[in-house]
Structure 1
Amino acid sequence: MAHESLYEHAGGTDALHRLEDHFYAGVLADPLLRPLFGAGKPHHVEHLTWFTAESFGGPDRFTRELGFAHLIDVHRHLKITEEQRRRFVELYLAALDAVGMPTDRPFRDAVRSHVEFGTQVAMQNSHAATDDDLHPIREVPRWTWDGDQTEG
């Protein structure tokens, strides 16, 4: 398993698209999170899929087609609360089960740490009044089986 990427273990782009599609539908239906997402955006599932795939060791399409600055921009001024951040994590982890993602502990632990980290970054960036207040990460993090992230 250590030689297999999280992307491969998850089942690749198609499996991650199913995950993000299910998750996004849940977010749009959730009264606590709906204010952050509004009515939704047509390409959001696709962009989430690209981001997760790249983070998990798959193709770098998110970086090539959108770039990390896009991620910063979409979170700025949302004023994400800790309650909303925790709910996001909860729905994401539930979506793993709903779409039949691998259930082994190393995978689930890596995904949890990835989502926890990402939601912390998003929450910080959502409250940033200036660029100096932003989280310092400026590239899609590459997640490992140990739950560590490395930039680029």
Structure 2
Amino acid sequence: MENKNAIPTPYEWAGGVGKFEKLTEVFYDKVLKDEVLEPVFRHMSPEHSKHVAHFLAEVLKGPKFYSEEYGTDALKHMVGKHIGKRLKEEQRKRWVELLLMSADEIGLPDDPEFRSTFVGHLEWGTRVALLNSQLEENPTTDQDHIPEWGWGEVKGPYEIVGSLFQMKKE
């Protein structure tokens, strides 16, 4: 029985997986027309948009579609997409800007609580991706996992992968 007083996860508040898939579909249409980002994404696979949607959904405490697809190497797979890309701050900022424009366009919730959580994750995640893109080798280990991002999360100072990605001992 569902607890009607339970606080929804950011994923639930956003509207579920369909909302994230619509978000990335609209977003990557913009990316492929953008002079700053198109060179980075021109050869992306047709499934890329959906993979990013599923990753975002999982990080915001939704179903583990991304992890189910890639198994125990899900984080290694995602981090590996950035290794050696030598991304620049201008590209990182533009990625965030276009994603937020797309969020507005599709009607993703714009209340301060959701947006602070969503933007907090985007800023943190894109900065980690920028750092990882400067590397030649994937730093993930079998102890690393996809992070979860809830309401009001602050992840603190980060390493390229490091302790914030470590699996919690249960």
Is this contact kept in 2: 1:27–1:34, CA < 8 A? yes
Match of 1:142 in 2: 148
Match of 2:64 in 1: 60
Residue type matched to 1:25 in 2? D
Of 108, 111, 116 in structure 1, the residue corresponding to residue 118 of structure 2 is 111
Alignment CA distance shift 1:128-1:8 (3 Å):
same
Match of 2:45 in 1: 41
- What is the TM-score when the length of structure 1 is the normalising length? 0.89
Shift of 1:2: 7.3
C-alpha distance in structure 1 between counterparts of 2:60 and 2:138, whole Å = 27
Residue type matched to 2:9 in 1? S
Consecutive unaligned residues in structure 2, runs of 5 or more? 156-163
Range moving further from structure 2, 31-40 or 10-19:
31-40
Shift of 1:130: 4.0
Alignment CA distance shift 1:37-1:54 (3 Å):
same
Residue type matched to 2:131 in 1? Q
Number of matched pairs: 149
Equivalent position SS for 1:107:
helix
C-alpha distance in structure 2 between counterparts of 1:2 and 1:113, whole Å = 23
Equivalent position SS for 1:142:
coil
- Percent sequence identity is 35
Shift of 1:40: 2.9
Is this contact kept in 2: 1:106–1:145, CA < 8 A? yes
Shift of 1:131: 4.5
Alignment CA distance shift 1:39-1:148 (3 Å):
same
Which deviations, in whole Å up to 9, do the C-alpha atoms of 1:127-152 show, x marking residues without a partner? 013455x7xx9321111110335756
Of 26, 29, 38 in structure 2, the residue corresponding to residue 25 of structure 1 is 29
Consecutive unaligned residues in structure 1, runs of 5 or more? none
Larger radius of gyration: 2
1:78 aligns with 2:80: no
C-alpha distance in structure 1 between counterparts of 2:116 and 2:59, whole Å = 15
What's the Cα RMSD here?
A: 2.0
Equivalent position SS for 1:31:
coil
Determine which structure has the larger helix proportion and give its number: 1
Is this contact kept in 2: 1:109–1:147, CA < 8 A? no
